[in-house]
Amino acid sequence: MTLAQQLHVGLAALGLDLPAAMQSKLLGYVVLLSKWNRTYNLTAIRDESEMVTQHLLDSLSVLSVVQESALAGRRWADVGSGAGLPGIPLAIVRPDLDMTLIEAVAKKSAFQRQAKIELALSNIDVVSRRVEEMPDGLFDAVISRAFAELADFVDLAGHLLAQNGRLYAMKGLVPEGEMNRLPRGWAVLDCARLSVPGLDAQRHLIVLERV
């Protein structure tokens, strides 16, 4: 199975019917990540087929559980974005999102900027600084993928949210202990199981809000 076929099958399983140009951009991201990874070690995953599953489809799986009202025209940030995950795949699929990638490591931010240029992603902004140094109240939603324990996520990124904003944490197994250790003033709004085509592992999206 080619990468294009693998992506097409995976997207169909996620219920995403994307135009060919959008699928081409997703594959272009994988090719660019693979190329940069040989020099800059941006991800431990080396195989492009595994990147389709564990990076693209994993990132896009959140779209099945995030409400449409939280997506269209909203200001999102991906903190500790690394190679731009999940922010770049989400920005490709949802060009109506205003996505800011926040990453303190210079080589990773450099890759993100190159991806923005090569993939013509006008809805992405790359910020190379620590998340705790960012101004308050800039975003409607902040997402992270393997960034930090939930309490640390709240402490480091909670200030980024505008009024009624939400934090989205992508996790593996349900982090019961982490959810019980949330700082006062924060609560779990949802703990949604994610289904990632081709991935034999539990994945969950934890949605947090101020109370």
Domain edges within the chain: 62-210
State residue 146's pLDDT score. Answer: 81
Sheet architecture: strand order including 186-194: 124-127, 98-102, 75-79, 139-145, 161-171, 203-210, 186-194
pTM: 0.96
Topology adopted by domain 62-210? Rossmann fold (3.40.50)
The H or E element containing residue 29 is helix 20-40
Check: CB of residue 164 under 8 Å from CB of residue 203: no
Encoding tokens for residue 125? 């902004």
- Residue indicated by tokens 């900027």: 113
Q: Which residues 6+ apart lie within 8 Å of 46 measured at CB?
A: 34, 37
- Count of CB atoms within 10 A of residue 40's CB? 15
CB contact at 8 A, 144 and 153? yes
What SS3 state is found at 204?
A: strand
Per-residue pLDDT of the chain in tens (211 residues, 90 and over written 9): 999 999 999 999 999 999 999 999 999 999 999 999 999 989 999 999 999 999 999 999 999 999 999 999 999 999 999 999 999 999 999 999 999 999 999 999 999 999 999 999 999 999 999 999 999 999 999 999 988 899 999 999 999 999 999 999 999 999 999 999 999 999 999 999 999 999 999 999 999 999 9
